[in-house]
């Protein structure tokens, strides 16, 4: 049984980002002798260097809410979503009465632009 065991080999997947690839100094190889005259098994332990594990925090939503709501006439707003392949599909938004302002309001589900009905 033990004669079939081979030393563990280390292979790097090319999909790892360069910052996450272990460097040679991060690999420790310890020989383990199981006793007797049997083979010596090398146990390989890998650990990644300490890197900045903070999550990237996007400020996209805060920038969207800095844009003033777009005033439209009627109960339905149309968000065309930009030009060509870079935009999103046309969305028809039914404006509903917002409780705090008593005005019609709605939000595009793709780009989060806000639409409000004009004051009567």
Tell me if 52 is assigned to some domain: no
What range does the domain containing 24 cover?
2-46
- The whole-number pLDDT of residue 24 equals 47
Tell me if 9 is assigned to some domain: yes
pLDDT bracket for residue 101 (50, 70, 90): confident
The domain that contains 74 carries what CATH number?
2.60.260
Same domain, 64 and 42: no
Total domains in the chain come to: 2
Which H or E element spans position 66? helix 60-66
Give the pLDDT confidence of 43-64 residue by residue, as tens digits.
666 655 566 666 667 788 788 8
Tell me if 55 is assigned to some domain: no
Same domain, 20 and 69: no
Whole-angstrom distance, CA of residue 106 vs CA of residue 96: 7
Same domain, 16 and 40: yes
Same domain, 25 and 69: no
pTM for the predicted model, two decimal places? 0.49
């Amino acid at each position: 049984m033990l004669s079939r065991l081979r030393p563990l080999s280390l292979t790097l997947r090319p999909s790892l980002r360069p910052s996450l690839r272990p460097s040679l100094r991060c690999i420790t190889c310890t020989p383990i002798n199981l006793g007797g005259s049997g083979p010596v098994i090398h146990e390989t332990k890998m650990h990644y260097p300490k890197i900045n594990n903070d999550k990237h925090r996007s400020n996209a939503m805060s920038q969207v809410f800095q844009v003033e709501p777009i005033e439209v006439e009627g109960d339905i707003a149309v968000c065309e979503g930009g030009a060509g392949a870079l935009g999103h599909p046309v969305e028809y938004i039914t404006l509903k009465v917002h409780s705090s302002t008593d005005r019609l309001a709605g939000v595009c589900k793709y780009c989060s632009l806000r639409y409000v009905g004009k004051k009567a």
